[in-house]
Structure 1
């Protein structure tokens, strides 16, 4: 077991010790790992969806705060991420991951939920809300990917995530955070393993080949409450992504640009992200 895998397992065991259920579920022929925490709040279930190369563990520090406000908190490891085994549906890898998310919502979540997606998870969550609004009571987008801002920008992002040297690993780590924790910089070279898995490579290659981006009309048609959170210190996605979402999200959306948020605030500033999510839920009557 390598160091990153060991740290992931330590996090899992700590969550389980605090009452979070960690289990494998069968979804459309694929085994998926997920977390579930029973909440004490009256809000709907919350589903947390990570990004490319991320894991459900990335949301660990907001589980318990969300559980005070909502009835259930769920976080799933997408195929080939975290503790979920590798799986990719041939040339339509991104669509395959999306289909798994849809079936997970149907089989495991079992009803409309507050879906919160980060990065690639944000793009998948938008598509989920657009195609299956019966599964999404409200939508939270945290530095979502998928904006149609020109293929050259998309290629630059994927190139930044194609890490092959220690220096490239450190450069990517700096782009993910407002201010990278020292421990993350010391472990930055381990990022190479995270972003070189078969799932990450297949997803990147598929995205480059298909050039499928979120369409303005898809965003404009979203009828449920929508929260959009962008980091004032976002360094991975291009600034044009913020402009794209601002221009095309429906007028009822709550758009927040938060200072000192980087690309993964659930890891770096969990309390502040939790506050954004709860304030949105309160204002939306969830």
Structure 2
């Protein structure tokens, strides 16, 4: 039985499952999930290990993440369209190459099946994690204290607000992170890599690849790696969006996703 926390909206229709990125949680997809449910889809949002309400583990490994998500998908009892952003996109691609029978289609959001140089993929995230780990939670009297404590390391208020969604206050223990900061920091370099696919593995079902036009995570020289593993891929670049495409341009993102889902549902 899967240990991952999840939530499903919609009572019938084709199944869609969402995986969030680093520092995220399933609730990041809630608005899009509701809008898809209104269109007749049954949508499940998942908290990946060491995030949200899912259990903490001793590692953050794409193979392990893929196995845990595969357990959840098997319990749903029918193939799904799997949507993954960033870290969740790599986990989704890993699963698709290892357990293709669990999927009808795949959507990858602003990430490529490549290993990124540490200076490109990890420097900001390392700074964020260092600042979050250094925060004296016992000294916090309000969420605004936490916002101020992160302001130097995370100057963008939108990104800061996103990170602070995982800071919660319990009546018994006080402020705590829902993120396993120590494990995420220890495995940050691993998250920048893409695991070696099984020999000869190819996912030959429909794939939608959505990239932010202002993001550096999907480059022209990444196309060869993508199409070698996922030959039925269609790439959509969203203008005015960076790495967090679905939050920066939600209407455009939803339009592209819904069209893909409708096409997949009708064969």
User: TM-score of the superposition, structure 1-length normalised?
Assistant: 0.70
The separation in 1 between residues aligned to 2:154 and 2:165, in whole angstroms, is 6
Say if 1:189 and 1:48 are closer, same or farther in 2 by CA, change over 3 A.
Answer: closer
Which whole-Å deviations, capped at 9, do the CAs of 1:109-143 have from their partners, x for residues lacking one?
22210000011000000011000000111000111
Whether contact under 8 Å (1:169, 1:190) holds in the other structure is no
Say if 1:197 and 1:63 are closer, same or farther in 2 by CA, change over 3 A.
Answer: closer
Pick one of 41, 46, 56 that aligns with 1:87: 56
Two-structure CA RMSD over aligned residues (Å): 3.2
- Are 2:15 and 1:38 aligned? no
Higher helix share: 1
Segments of 5+ residues of structure 1 without an aligned counterpart are: 1-25, 174-179
Whether contact under 8 Å (2:93, 2:113) holds in the other structure is no
Match of 1:113 in 2: 80
The separation in 1 between residues aligned to 2:68 and 2:249, in whole angstroms, is 29
The separation in 1 between residues aligned to 2:63 and 2:155, in whole angstroms, is 30
- Are 2:98 and 1:131 aligned? yes
Pick one of 182, 193, 207 that aligns with 1:226: 207
- Give 1:33 deviation, angstroms: 2.1
Pick one of 247, 255, 260 that aligns with 1:280: 260
The separation in 1 between residues aligned to 2:197 and 2:62, in whole angstroms, is 19
- Give 1:168 deviation, angstroms: 1.6
Whether contact under 8 Å (2:114, 2:194) holds in the other structure is yes
Say if 1:255 and 1:103 are closer, same or farther in 2 by CA, change over 3 A.
Answer: same
- Are 2:107 and 1:140 aligned? yes
Say if 1:70 and 1:244 are closer, same or farther in 2 by CA, change over 3 A.
Answer: farther
Say if 1:74 and 1:217 are closer, same or farther in 2 by CA, change over 3 A.
Answer: same
> How many residues were matched structurally?
238
